[in-house]
Amino acid sequence: MKTVHELNEYAKQAKEQYGNTKEYKEYEEKAGKRNDEENKLMMERFMLLFKEAGTIKDTDPASPEAQDLVKRIQNYITENMYTCSNEILSGLGKMYSCGGEYTENIDACGGEGTGTFVDKAIQIYTMHLL
């Protein structure tokens, strides 16, 4: 799991890239209501969804179970971070599977291939909704 310093680095990068968006402003407002420990706990709970994804990563990403997990990921992001539209969710899925730190962190929670599985499930979920 990432340290508070690493989470703060992610936050800094996100602000540079998305700081002018309404979603980022919403994220800042929600995060500002939590202390560092609460933010860490929120992220740990989020990563548990990827741990769960790891238990089904060898199944069909279009299965009802996988699609339900995608909906729960989207809902968790909306409730705790920012409004996660289907368009944003689709972009997140691509980030989860493109390699680098996002994929490494997700695969560390759910096992190798979890990020790719979640991306496939997200793309199926959003394909009919965009």
Q: Where are the domains of the chain?
A: 4-127
pLDDT tens-digit map of 48-94: 999 999 999 999 999 999 999 999 999 999 999 899 999 999 999 99
* Residue 7 pLDDT greater than 60, yes or no: no
pLDDT of residue 13: 63
- The answer to whether 110 and 50 have CB atoms below 8 angstroms apart is yes
pLDDT tens-digit map of 19-40: 678 888 888 888 889 998 998 8
pTM of the model: 0.84
Distance CA 14, CA 12 (A): 5
pLDDT of residue 4: 52
Tokens representing residue 84 in the block: 């996660």
pLDDT of residue 115: 96
- The answer to whether 84 and 33 have CB atoms below 8 angstroms apart is no
Tokens representing residue 63 in the block: 């299965």
The mean pLDDT of the chain is: 87
